[in-house]
Structure 1
Amino acid sequence: MGKTFSRIAVAGAAVATVFAGTVSTAQAAEATVLTSNKTISLPGGRGTMTFIDDGDMFQVCDTKADGHGVSGRLIDNSYNEKIYIEDGGDAGCDKKGYDVGQSGSFQMQLSWNGDGYEVKSEWFNE
């Protein structure tokens, strides 16, 4: 009886693990539809790019006084640049608006102007 119970427990755990993996995969696919703000960051605290859902604003911030700025781009799924924003050498962050909408997919790309190191968001829309 003890071995049977152990086998049932192991089988149940395996089924639960497979089910949890399926739920996580489904949630990841849905994560590309944004319902709130989204931020990507360069390593070393060099800068950020934020999609502000309320008003569809994109904000780029140079967060490290190192003599180099940062550049942010929004591209569509055909790799057309929709906006370009630079920040650095002044106080505050720079912003531009772009209506992302629900048709098509977009990606944010943020680069450090010192060596061109770049980070990218996942593809998203609203």
Structure 2
Amino acid sequence: MTGAAVAATFVATATPALADSDITLNNSRGYMTYKDSVDVFEICDMNPDGYGVHGLLTKTGEGNVMHIDDGGDNGCDKQGYNVGSGKYRMSFFWDGGGAVLYSKYFSE
């Protein structure tokens, strides 16, 4: 039973995202979320430390196709982007340094 659960988990994480699949990258500094049902990306700086957060959407073979950032203002920022065929990946990072977070590759 346990082996089947592990195999099912591996298959679920290895496949591309399908319609109505949301993705969130987060750390103690903030988060970036993709809402597939409306093709909207949201980014939010949750730590008023003088540094903002940035997110990129990269399409395989084309490079960065969208940039979004937040920091220094009230509220979160949102941006629409029509994710189509191809493989996409989100990246999220804090301007103060540290590791870049990456999503799995996804498509519609």
The answer, yes or no, to whether TM exceeds 0.5 is yes
Matched letter for residue 12 of structure 2: Q
Q: How far apart, in 2, do the equivalents of 1:71 and 1:41 lie?
A: 12
**1:118 deviation in Å?**
1.2
Distance in 1 (CA, whole Å) between partners of 2:62 and 2:97 is 22
Unmatched 5+ stretches in structure 1 = 1-15
Question: Size of the alignment, in residue pairs?
Answer: 107
**Which structure exhibits the higher relative contact order, with contacts defined as CA atoms closer than 8 Å and separated by 6 or more residues?**
2
CA RMSD of aligned residues (A): 1.8
Structure number, greater radius of gyration: 1
TM-score for both structures, normalised by structure 1? 0.75
Alignment equivalent of 1:58, drawn from 33, 38, 41: 41
Unmatched runs of 5 consecutive residues or more in structure 2: none
CA apart distance, 1:40:
0.5
Counterpart residue number, 1:12: none
Q: 2:85 matched to 1:87?
A: no
Which structure has the highest strand share of the two? 2
SS, match of residue 24 in structure 1: helix
Distance in 2, matches of 1:17 and 1:50, equals 31
Q: TM-score of the superposition, structure 2-length normalised?
A: 0.86
Q: In proportion to residue count, which structure has more helix?
A: 1
Q: Please give the alpha-carbon distance, in whole angstroms, between the structure 1 residues aligned to 2:36 and 2:50.
A: 30
Given the alignment of the two structures, is residue 41 of structure 1 paired with residue 26 of structure 2, yes or no?
yes
Q: Relative to 1, partners in 2 of residues 1:20 and 1:62: Cα closer, same or farther, differing over 3 Å?
A: closer
